[in-house]
Amino acid sequence: MEIAVIGGGAAGFFSAITAKETYPHATVVIFERSNRLLAKVKVSGGGRCNVTNGCTDIKELSNAYPRGRNALKKAFQVFNTSHAMQWFECRGVPLVIQADNCVFPLSQTSQSIIDCFLTETHRLGIKIETGKGIKTITPLNNQLAVAFMDTQVPSKLFDKAIVATGGCTRREGLEWLEKLNHKIQDPVPSLFSFNMPTESVTRLMGIVVENTRVGIQGTPLKSQGPLLITHWGMSGPAILTLSSLGARLLNEKGYDCNIQVNWVNEKNTAIVMDTLTRIVKGHLNKLLSNVRPYFLPERLWLYLLEKSGLSATKKWGELGKKGMNKLVTILTNDVYSVKGKATFKEEFVTCGGISLESIDIKTMQSRVCKNLYFAGEVMDIDGITGGYNFQAAWTTAFIAGKLHE
């Protein structure tokens, strides 16, 4: 059996290894358009590679995917985070689960994952051809004719093919698959930070607030977690998750909206008021600048006081009801104007791709082209930040690599 794997990234390598282990006598070839293999794996997680998430509850795990949730709920029955961790550790890559449930190689370098894949493909005799972009796939007598972008390279026939080309930034990049009658969901960016060119909060760049709640004003979309203030706006897990949840909506808005920041992650304003009231009673003669509620970073607290129109030299006992209300509002419903996005270059994630309506999720086989399978982000599946996107790649690639009818 001749098997073509199109794409030399995470899903491509994982599906190729699975296919070769499932069919030892098959010839498996990975075709990569560029001259670089596993490029996104290399740079992901700041070069450490967040391989998966420590969550083992399938329902909870599935909820981390704004697109593909129900399909993955079924797929995770076959291959989930526990299987993925075992897969890597059995192949000599010890892992560590952080406090935030993100899973990294113990070595803290993505090279460990890359070396594992290259070692496994070499051991199994999987062929790798770089600089080989695919132009078309054509069904032919129960096989698939694969034509290359380089017209000097002759077309090749394969019994099976797995498309694992990753996220595509433009619809045109999916036209060769659309021509086979696959339904396409327009790709738009996901997992990006927010640009705030008109907001003075950027002067606080580098500050991290560990426990926030953020939302897009006028929508029910909300997320929580650490927030990082940058020189261009805001980032961190809370913002990245919100961008994933609102990927299509934000695209439609032209990335022009307001976000609401709850700096203390407390929805009940009465509780916040009670906390501030206790501070007043216990620190009547202390300056606002000297007592920070919820242990907020000092520079942020001084900024919020300034934004509220409250003097840092005012005493807590002098606040009054109006001043207290100002503080509650700024702590729980601070509003910022977003005017654009900033993506993470090679780490980009896309919302969209091959519609799951065109794929049998039990096998990852195309519903409109026999013997053609899909794996990874080329499908309309994407997750929030935290190792979820790599897990979707491992899961779909494992199922696709089995090449079941």
pLDDT of residue 347: 55
Query: What tokens were used for 172?
Result: 């045109």
Same domain, 206 and 149: no
Whether pLDDT at 346 is above 70: no
The domain total for the chain is 2
Same domain, 322 and 301: yes
pLDDT of residue 290: 97
Same domain, 170 and 217: no
DSSP state of 287: B
State whether the Cα torsion 237-174-118-16 is positive or negative. Answer: positive
Helix (H) or strand (E) holding 214: strand 208-216
pLDDT tens profile 283-311: 999 999 999 999 999 999 999 999 999 99
Same domain, 287 and 232: yes
CB-hemisphere CA count at 13 Å for 371? 19
Same domain, 77 and 198: no
Same domain, 52 and 128: yes
Q: pTM for this structure?
A: 0.94
- Mean pLDDT for the chain? 96
| pLDDT category of residue 87 using cuts at 50, 70 and 90 | very high
Give the domain range for residue 252: 193-342
Beta strand extents in 297-384 (DSSP E only):
334-339, 341-342, 349-354, 359-360, 365-366, 372-374
pLDDT tens profile 111-155: 999 999 999 999 999 999 999 999 999 999 999 999 999 989 999
Considering 342, 357, 373, which residue would you say is the last residue of a domain?
Answer: 342
Same domain, 77 and 98: yes
Inter-CA distances, 317 with 5, 38, 288, Å: 69, 59, 9
